[in-house]
Amino acid sequence: MNLIKHLLLILILLGTLANARLFVYITDQVDIPMREDKTFGNNIVRSLSSGSKLSILQATEDGWTQVKYKNSTGWVISRYLSNNPSARVQLEKLRQSHNANQLLTTKQSKRNTELEKQVKTLKSKNTGLSMQVSKSQAEKQHIEQIYQDALKLEHSNERLATQVLQLKTEIQLLENNSTATQESSSRNWFIVGGLVLFFGMMIGFIFPNFVNRRRY
């Protein structure tokens, strides 16, 4: 029973491999015709150019292979088929790849040139920014110095204002003292004048009486 199962499995695998689509290529020697059957005559379906990619449908031992190309099916001579693309096709692919690489190289070269220009521009901007930063730092130091000088002047003005206030107070005190001294001097002179007047009146009253008494 197991043997039958194994044989069935092998047959299924062989059928799958037989139905698998294989590909071959027309050689780069000549363009060959695809025929309706395995005979030479007026049975050409179409002409297959060198490098055409074909699907194998059936291979026979008499030198013919049944193939499919696009929507056409027919027979071709097996010796004109190859498992690898023709040298001409490979060369064309290499040429296209080379052209694509050259195009990429040209684009990359242009890109590198643009990047170099951008780098130069950025370096120039960086130099300008460095100069601006240096200038800004110098201006900052200058402003800080001005601010420090302004603070010193402010402190100095505060001290001078305090001194001026003290001087005003002292002047006011001196003026008050001077006024008090003048008032005191005026009172003293008034008192002295009164005393002089009093003694003068007394002398003027007493002295004549004294003189008259001595005469008698």
Q: What are the pLDDT digits (tens) for 8-40?
A: 445 444 444 444 457 776 665 567 888 988 888
Class of domain 2-85: mainly beta
Token readout for 188 is 């003293």
Mean pLDDT calculated for residue range 160-189 = 82
Check whether 89 has a pLDDT greater than 60. yes
% of residues, the chain, pLDDT over 70: 80
Which of 82, 101, 81 lies closest to 93 in space, CA to CA?
A: 101
Token readout for 34 is 């695809």
Let me know if 54 is exposed, middle or buried by CB neighbors in 10 A (0-12, 13-18, 19+): buried
% of residues, the chain, pLDDT over 90: 12
Instruction: Report the 10 Å Cβ neighbour count for 49.
Output: 13
Which of 75, 36, 73, 28 lies closest to 52 in space, CA to CA?
A: 28
User: What ranges do the domains of the chain cover?
Assistant: 2-85
Split at pLDDT 50, 70, 90, the class of 69 is: very high
